[in-house]
Amino acid sequence: MRTLRTESAISSACGNRRCRVTAFADGPYAPRRAIVAGLAALTAGPADGPAVLLLPGFTGSKEDFAPVLPLLAAAGLRGVAVDQRGQYESTGDPDGPDSQFELAGLAADVARAAAELGGPVHLVGHSFGGLVARAALLAHPEALASLVLLGSGPAAIVGPRGLALRAMFPLYDAGGLEAVWAAARAVDTVVRSPAEAEFLRRRFFASSERGMLVMGRALLAEPDRVATVAVAAAARAIPLLVAHGVGDDAWPPALQADMAARLGARYEVIPDALHSPAAQNPPATAGLLVAFVRDSAAVGSLAFEALAPPADAAEVA
């Protein structure tokens, strides 16, 4: 019987916790560039595998999920990470309205992407992407097979990251994006390689300036929609997962745990990770996503039986 590949496939594909996508540059699970519903994307995995659509956070991009895409592919899933409209290589319509960058507009992009990918998708929203993902559930529930809120929260961003985001607007008014970038780098304590530092700068300035401002305001103004999301998910039996890094410094872990309880969602804490577990602990993050898709009531057994794993792939017990 053909079955979904499991954590042993992930383990063999990534022998250590800090694996990077470069290990798969020439392999069968290598991410490929694509355009999905007009959005720049990285994809990996079988075209007929269960589709996992991944939405990055504020000022993020599809590359944030690059370390987990080969691991999802190794497990038989079709991983699709996108730049949301206004992010990096999906800059949006320069002559279009601001609404294209608001939650409703971004949620509509999710629905279009799901349709292009062949039906309901397992939607993963990281941080700000989680706010977009739940907006998609509310406005386009037919597009979702399941929903994962990864390092996201019940309402507007809080704590030090919220304060930093509020400070972005006067900085922008005073000196534009250069001033915002300089201030962000001044407080960044992460040691980065020259290549990574250059990529982050290139991504920041390639993103839509207008989109960044609109998304930033949404991240500061979003109300608590947990009760509404819980009702909408229950009405269509959409499985929910709330997960975050053990040291998440955005929405406090206790707040995310409470959100999971209010949603009636599965709740998981990812070890050895802060706010970006897909980059900081790819195997644990990918393993969690694979297990959730496998166990999701929205995925029928025939979908998994249709997968064609390699001869050495582990079978689900």
- CATH code where residue 125 lies: 3.40.50.1820
167 in a structural domain: no
215 in a structural domain: no
Confidence of residue 264 (pLDDT cuts 50, 70, 90): very high
Condensed to tens digits (0 to 9), the pLDDT of residues 88-146 reads: 999 999 999 999 999 999 999 999 999 999 999 999 999 999 999 999 999 999 999 99
233 in a structural domain: yes
pLDDT at 26: 59
User: When comparing pLDDT for 242 and 184, which is higher?
Assistant: 242
pLDDT at 18: 44
177 in a structural domain: no
Q: Of all residues in the chain, what percent carry a pLDDT higher than 90?
A: 81
Condensed to tens digits (0 to 9), the pLDDT of residues 54-88 reads: 999 999 999 999 999 999 999 999 999 999 999 99
Condensed to tens digits (0 to 9), the pLDDT of residues 5-27 reads: 444 444 444 444 444 444 445 57
Give how many domains the chain has, as a whole number. Answer: 1
What are residue 123's DSSP bridge partners? 53, 147
pLDDT at 300: 42
Confidence of residue 186 (pLDDT cuts 50, 70, 90): confident
101 in a structural domain: yes
- Burial class for 42, CB neighbours closer than 10 Å (0-12, 13-18, 19+): buried
pLDDT at 285: 98
Instruction: Give 68-116 as a 3 state SS string.
Output: CHHHHHHCCCEEEEECCCCECCECCCCCCCHHHHCHHHHHHHHHHHHHH
142 in a structural domain: yes
Average pLDDT (205-214) is: 98
Q: Which residue range(s) make up the domain with 39? A: 7-154+226-305
pLDDT at 10: 46
35 in a structural domain: yes
| Res 298 pLDDT > 90 | no
24 in a structural domain: yes
